[in-house]
Amino acid sequence: MWVRILAVFIKELKQLSRDRMTFGMIVMIPLVQLMLFGYAINTDARHIPVGLVDLSQTAESRALEQAVTATQSVNFVARYRSIKDAETALTRGDIKAFLYLPPDMTRRLFGHPRYDAKQTDSPLTRPVGQWIVDGSDTVIASTIRALRDMPLNEIADHNTVRPTASFAVVQYYNPEQRTVVNIVPGLVAVILTMTMILFTSAAIVREHEQGNMEFLITTPVSPMELMIGKIAPYILVGLVQVAIILSMGHWVFSVPIQGGLLSLLSGAILFIFASLTLGLVISTIVKTQLQAMQLTIFILLPSILLSGFMFPYDAMPVPAQWIAEALPVTHFMRMIRAIVLRDANIVLLGKDALWLGLFAIGGLIVASLRFKKKLE
Amino acid sequence: MNHATPSQPPEMTYAIESKGLTKRFGNSIAVNQLDLAIPKGCIYGFLGPNGCGKSTTIRLLTGLLVPSEGEVSILGAPLAGHEESLKNRIGYMTQKFSLYDNLTVRENLNFVGAIYGFSGRRKKARIEELLSLYDLEQQAKQFAGSMSGGQKQRLALACATLHSPELLFLDEPTSAVDPENRREFWERLFDLSSTGTTILVSTHYMDEAERCHALAIMEQGHKRADGSPQMLMDTMPAAVVEIRGDQLRQLKQRLTEQKQILSAAQIGSNLRILVKKDVTDPLAFIQQFSADREIALTRPSLEDVFVTSTGGRHVG
């Protein structure tokens, strides 16, 4: 049995090393994705282009404009004479929002308790201006919404005492709140899902398409030997990718690697194994390599969207969480973030580890049972 | 594993036996009620046009396809249920090259050797033996995908016979090979046959079919004739008449309209005519149509047998 597994393993490894395109992809996919996600994806919106309709035209209105710019949330890119002009620009998409300062803005400001602590909130207190926002993009809308309670005392020269916060917040594990810290470990899970399923989903069907299978199934090789021999080389490939992503993440994006190497390695191997067997099951279902690709994407999309990589798992509706639980990547997403960022060990994550293990063994059995040494 | 008991010696003389073997794909019947009894140690041919069910039959006999009806015994054991244990005793060379293009000749052989449970010195010795036997020593380090048709075919035969199978299936082995290599290839087949290997080979070449000890002529899933080439030619239910002369195309046109004429085909400056056996004097019969040409009876060839048995099909 082991002789035959080894024979298939060596054969796959040799074929893989001679397929330059695939070999390049193993290295390039993680590198390119890491750079894209690391530099481009930022969930805290900044420097949103906005317009200004200033009907007040006073020193205070200019001071207010500067104070808003100083928050770095928005950039004033244009001025408009009327609300109508600004609305046209909003529709065109030149700006994402605009600030309207009414002619009596100065009077409103002086009567505002945030500007002058001696003033008290009364029914006569009015907001000093109005934001009109393109609300279709919720990230931008919420960024502008955060400006609603912006302090106004900085415009005045006199300093007022800031009210004490209701809660103190201490941010563990990612004190600077950099998105990339959460993205890099998550990216390990997403890229492994992508490459591992893709490689093996084509594994069986490729032998069929290239005509090798007809000979192979007249030999004494058993389905289980064939399956294990075929996925074994990709465990190495997967570990190489994990190493690339984490080391590049560490050196280029200063993502701290807190966890132990042993926990990381065992978690990664479990997940790679689970993804590979998922790919094998796909491979026993499809008839062509193109179908294998399509089915892989069908699995890949929910893996990216529901696993907690982009959107918090706990914020999803319960049925979506069920789907997410069924995907191996969700469990690994939890594990790798816990290990890399929070120094958790594999024992602490036993439930997720156990699930991945069961998934892998189940997948291997299903794939072996589905694989018939027949041509029909 | 041998599941035949010694008390049934007659069964043991057949390498392949099938009764009523039938394979349907949807509504079409690829193999129809095929009875075969192929003795051990012979080279047996399947002769027939493309799509006549040769490949399907081979796949049924190797256990790659499950028959819709009928029974198959391979090397004395019923095929159904013994597919896996028989795999060590049979070899199969597919119609399309089925080894790995991006592995070298030696790597392909190493892979197949390991799959058949060879290891260490035994594997190395067997591979060296095959490399020299099939004249592949120069190509040992060459990628299989970059070799010529003849070399690929020799590699495929080496892989199919690596484990010295008792029964070897060859599905149109020489379709991509030049005549010189085909000759060589058949020499190797007779070498294998002389060591006791039973060989079943499918072909659509008459000259190859003629080399077989026995053959079946197949058409549309049916077996039309079965026997040794000599016997098939001797018992052919038609006489062969050759006409030599001018304006053979017009003559052929007139002859093929006669129901006593099975076929008329021009070969060079001769017209070869198959006349049904129930015509008592074929020469006189032809004479009525063609007065002033040379007419002679001649020996039947395997092609004549083929044309006669695949009835209703006129070549020419």
Please write the tens of the pLDDT for every residue from A20-67.
Answer: 888 888 899 899 988 888 887 766 678 899 999 999 999 989 999 998
DSSP annotation string for A133-190: E-TTSHHHHHHHHTTTT---TTTSSS--PPPPPSS-----S-TT--HHHHHHHHHHHH
Assign a CATH topology to domain B236-309: Alpha-Beta Plaits (3.30.70)
Q: Examine the domain organization and report whether A33 and A141 are in the same domain.
A: no
Contact at CB, A11 and B117, closer than 8 angstroms:
no
Domain with A322 in it:
2-41+178-370
Distance CA A238, CA B5 (A): 53
For A341-363, the pLDDT digits (tens) are 999 988 889 999 999 999 999 99
Q: Residue written as tokens 């529709």? A: A91
A261 and A279 together in one domain: yes
Tokens 């047998």 correspond to B305
Chain A CB contacts of B92 under 8 Å are: 214-215, 218
Q: B5 pLDDT band (50/70/90 cuts)?
A: very low
Residue B4 has pLDDT above 50, yes or no: no
Please tell me which residue of chain A has the smallest CA distance to B163. A219
Which among A3, A4, A214 is the nearest to B98, CB-wise? A214
Contact call for residues B30 and B218 (beta carbons, < 8 A): no
Chain A residues touching residue B111 (CB < 8 angstroms): 7-8, 10-11
A109 assigned to some structural domain: yes
Residue of A nearest to B161 (CA): A219
pLDDT given for residue B66 in this prediction: 94
Total tally of structural domains belonging to chain A: 2
Question: Is A358 inside any structural domain?
Answer: yes
Beta strands B90-93 and B167-171, pairing class: parallel
Could you give the CA distance from residue B145 to residue B134 in angstroms, rounded to a whole number?
17
Residue A303 within a domain: yes
pLDDT at B49 over 60: yes
Give the CA distances from residue B103 to residues A98, A302, B144, in Å, rounded to whole numbers and listed in that order. Answer: 66, 37, 6
Q: In what order do the strands lie in the sheet with B270-276?
A: B261-267, B270-276, B238-244, B294-298
Residue of B nearest to A376 (CA): B65
Q: Which fold has domain B39-59+88-232?
A: Rossmann fold (3.40.50)
Looking at residue B245, what is its pLDDT?
85
User: Secondary structure of B72-92 in the HEC alphabet?
Assistant: EEECCEECCCCHHHHCCCEEE
Do A272 and A340 lie in a common domain? Answer: yes
Residue A236's contacts (CB-CB under 8 Å, 6 or more residues apart) are none
Residue A229, class by beta-carbon neighbours within 10 Å (0-12 exposed, 13-18 middle, 19+ buried)?
A: buried
Cα-Cα end-to-end distance for chain A = 26
Q: Give the end-to-end CA distance of chain B in Å, rounded to a whole number.
A: 50
Contact: A4, B115; criterion CB under 8 Å: yes
Q: Confirm or reject contact between A214 and chain B (CB < 8 A).
A: yes
Same domain, A182 and A221: yes
Beta strands per DSSP E along B172-287 = 198-203, 214-219, 222-227, 238-244, 261-267, 270-276
The pLDDT of residue B12 is 52
A212 and A329 together in one domain: yes
Nearest to A14 among B63, B99, B103 (CB): B103
Q: Do B117 and A211 touch (CB under 8 A)?
A: no
How many Å apart are CA A203 and CA A225, to the nearest integer?
14
d(CA A307, CA A336): 12
A43–chain B nearest CA distance, Å: 46
Are B92 and A373 inside 8 Å of each other by CB?
no
| Burial class of residue A318 in the structure, from the number of CB atoms within 10 Å of its CB (0-12 exposed, 13-18 middle, 19+ buried) | exposed
Q: Please report the pLDDT score of residue B16 as a whole number.
A: 95
Question: Are B290 and B245 within 8 A, CB to CB?
Answer: yes
Answer yes or no: do A211 and B96 touch at CB < 8 A: yes
In chain A, what residues touch B84 (CB-CB under 8 Å)?
220, 222, 373
Question: Is the domain of A128 the same as that of A53?
Answer: yes
Handedness of CA A214, A219, A225, A230 (dihedral sign): negative
Indicate the residue of A15, A212, A219 with minimum beta-carbon distance to B87: A219
B205 touches chain A (CB under 8 A): no
Contact predicate A132/A90, CB 8 Å: yes
What DSSP element (H or E) covers B294?
strand B294-298
Using the Cβ of B80 and the Cβ atoms of chain A, whether some distance falls under 8 Å is answered with no
> What percent of the residues of chain B are helix, what percent strand, and what percent coil, each to the nearest 5?
35, 30, 35
Distances (CA, A) of A119 to A124, A154, B303: 11, 16, 115
B59-83 pLDDT per residue, tens: 999 999 999 999 999 999 999 999 9
A139 and A78 belong to one structural domain: yes
Distance CA A60, CA A155 (A): 7
Mutation pick from B23, B100, B127, B167 vs chain A, by most beta carbons of A within 10 Å, is B100
Q: Is A21 on the interface with B (CB under 8 A)?
A: no
CA distances to A111, A113, A149, B161, B255 from A160, rounded to whole Å, are 15, 10, 15, 95, 120
What residues does CATH 3.30.70.100 cover in chain B? 236-309
Helix axes A179-201, A328-342, angle to 10 degrees: 140
Q: Could you tell me if B20 and B33 are in contact, meaning their C-beta atoms sit under 8 angstroms apart?
A: yes
- The answer to whether B158 faces chain A, any CB pair under 8 Å, is no
**Chain B nearest C-alpha distance from A222 (Å):** 9
B79: CB partners within 8 A, 6+ apart: B61, B63, B72, B73, B86
* Among candidates A19, A211, A214 on the partner chain, residue whose Cβ is nearest the Cβ of B64: A214
Q: Are A363 and A271 in contact (CB under 8 A)?
A: no
pLDDT digits (tens, 9 = 90+) for A96-108: 999 999 999 998 9
What tens digit of pLDDT does each residue of A231-246 get? 999 999 999 999 999 9
Q: Give me the residue label for tokens 């006409």.
A: B243
Question: Which residues share a beta bridge with B266?
Answer: B271
Backbone phi and psi for residue A320, each to the nearest 5 degrees, phi listed first: -65, -35
Q: What confidence tens digit (pLDDT) does each residue in A152-170 have?
A: 877 776 565 666 888 988 9
Substitution target from A3, A210, A219 for chain B, most B beta carbons within 10 A: A219
Q: Say which of A15, A220, A375 has its CB closest to residue B115.
A: A220
CA angle A241, A245, A248 (to 5 degrees): 130
Q: Is A251 on the interface with B (CB under 8 A)?
A: no
Query: Cα–Cα distance between B243 and B273 in angstroms, integer?
Result: 8
**Chain B: closest CA distance from residue A376 (Å):** 7
pLDDT digits (tens, 9 = 90+) for B219-274: 989 999 999 999 999 988 889 999 988 888 888 888 888 888 888 999 888 999 99
Work out the number of other CB atoms within 10 angstroms of the CB of residue A122: 8
Q: Which amino acid is at B110?
A: N
A23 shares its domain with A61: no
Judge contact between A339 and A255, C-beta under 8 A: no
What is residue B311's predicted lDDT score, i.e. its pLDDT? 67
With pLDDT > 70 as the criterion, what percentage of chain A qualifies?
Answer: 97
What is residue A315's DSSP assignment? G
Question: Is the distance from CB of A200 to CB of A192 less than 8 angstroms?
Answer: no
Check CB contact of B145 with chain A, cutoff 8 Å: no
Residues B143, B149, B154, B158, Cα dihedral to 10°: 50
- Asked if A215's CB is within 8 angstroms of B66's CB, the reply is no
**Which parts of B62-205 fold into alpha helices (H)?**
83-86, 105-115, 120-133, 149-160, 179-194
Per-residue pLDDT reduced to its tens digit, B82-106: 999 999 999 999 999 999 999 999 9
The answer to whether A375 contacts B65, with C-beta atoms less than 8 Å apart, is yes
CA-based nearest residue in chain B for residue A216: B98
| Whole-number Cα distances in Å, A238 to A27, A265, A269 | 10, 11, 8
A190 burial class (0-12, 13-18, 19+ CB within 10 angstroms)?
A: buried
Q: Please, where in chain B does CATH 3.40.50.300 lie? A: 39-59+88-232
Quote the pLDDT of residue B178. Answer: 86
Q: Which of B53, B49, B60 is nearest to B175 (CA)?
A: B49
The confidence band for A296, taking pLDDT boundaries of 50, 70 and 90, is: very high
Contact A11/B119, CB-based, under 8 Å? no
- Position B314 confidence tier, pLDDT thresholds 50, 70, 90: very low
Q: Where does a domain end: A145, A167, A190?
A: A145
Contacts of A6 in chain B (CB under 8 A): 114
> Is B54 in contact with B21 (CB distance < 8 Å)?
no
The 3-state DSSP class for residue A99 equals strand
Q: Which two tokens stand for residue A250?
A: 């560490």
Q: What are phi and psi of A58, to 5 degrees?
A: -120, 175
Q: Both A202 and A96 in a single domain?
A: no
Angle of CA points B188, B189, B195, to nearest 5°: 95
Distances (CA, A) of B34 to A52, A248, B37, B42: 89, 66, 10, 19
Say how far apart CA A113 and CA A118 lie, in whole Å. 7
Residue of B nearest to A15 (CA): B102
Q: Which of B101, B115, B119 sits opposite A221 (nearest CB)?
A: B115
Percent with pLDDT over 70 in chain B: 94
CATH, residue A76: 3.40.190
User: What span, in angstroms and rounded, lies between the C-alpha atoms of B77 and B96?
Assistant: 28
Whether residue A14 and residue B84 make contact (CB cut-off 8 A), yes or no, is: no
Q: What is the predicted ipTM? A: 0.84
In chain A, the residue whose alpha carbon lies closest to the alpha carbon of B25 is A376
Q: Where are the alpha helices (DSSP H) in chain A?
A: 2-18, 20-40, 59-70, 83-92, 105-110, 138-145, 179-201, 203-209, 212-216, 223-253, 261-285, 289-306, 318-326, 328-342, 350-370
CA-based nearest distance A26→chain B, Å: 19
Question: How confident is residue A178, by pLDDT bands cut at 50, 70 and 90?
Answer: confident
